[in-house]
Amino acid sequence: MKTVTTKELTWSPLSDYTGIDKIKINKDEPGSGVYIWGFYLSHNFIPYMVGKAKGGPYSNIKNRLWSHLSSLMGGDYAIHKKENLEKFYNFKGKGKENDLAYIPRSDKDGFTSFVKDRYGKLKEHIDEMVNYFHFTYAIADSDKVADLEKSVIEIIGQEKLWNTRVGTPKEFEAKREDLEREPGKWFWQ
């Protein structure tokens, strides 16, 4: 089993959503890799989701990050109450619906309610999530991104992410210290 280390994954500097446009995708670098997006709150980056991009014109890191941001702004993702955003992972699972401002595709909140409330009662919560949206990414071979994504999820801890995808990497052994700059501090802190 191979260990994933920060030497193998060179992470981009942490950026807000304006950095998505600066990601260069071309035929020599197709944009395959893994990414972490979350929120920069109280001087800390709080990972929300880990994802993968297989590269190419549609599934590259740039397009995947835009897709996540668009889904967040467009009612496809849960909208957290701004006062709960820093500890969003405490509000995962059944029985937590009242702690969210909006739940997509639910009986409680349909898409019609999102459209009606997007610029009303949901605006401040969506704006908070968009304004604090940050990301980092690492370029990797497209044949390795599925395992790398699982490794990064495992290192951070699925319970600390909104991700629903989880699994055990086949080729890589995940170690928390591989994503730490120093003991107890993530590389992005």
| Residue 101 located in a structural domain | no
Measured CA to CA, the distance from residue 41 to residue 32 in angstroms comes to 28
pLDDT of residue 1: 40
pLDDT digits (tens, 9 = 90+) for 135-181: 999 888 888 888 888 888 888 888 888 876 666 555 655 555 556 55
Q: Quote the number of domains for the chain.
A: 1
| Residue 98 located in a structural domain | no
* 2, pLDDT greater than 70: no
Predicted TM-score (pTM) of the model is 0.83
Pairing, β 100-102 against β 133-139: unpaired
pLDDT of residue 171: 60
Choose among 173, 174, 171: nearest CA to 157: 174
| Residue 82 located in a structural domain | no
pLDDT of residue 107: 56
Choose among 168, 189, 184: nearest CA to 36: 189
* Token pair recorded at residue 27: 């035929």
| Residue 8 located in a structural domain | yes
185/149: higher pLDDT: 149
pLDDT digits (tens, 9 = 90+) for 101-121: 887 766 565 678 888 888 888
Choose among 169, 186, 176: nearest CA to 5: 176
| Residue 111 located in a structural domain | no
List Cβ neighbours of 62 (8 Å cut-off, separation of 6 or more).
20, 23, 25, 31
* Token pair recorded at residue 58: 């549609």
Residue span of the structural domain in which 44 resides: 2-75+132-186
Q: What is the mean pLDDT of residues 30-39?
A: 89
pLDDT of residue 170: 59
pLDDT of residue 134: 95
Measured CA to CA, the distance from residue 155 to residue 7 in angstroms comes to 16
| Residue 31 located in a structural domain | yes
> In Å, what is the CA distance from 1 to each residue of 103, 170, 173?
39, 8, 6
| Residue 100 located in a structural domain | no
| Residue 121 located in a structural domain | no
Q: What is the mean pLDDT of residues 23-39?
A: 83
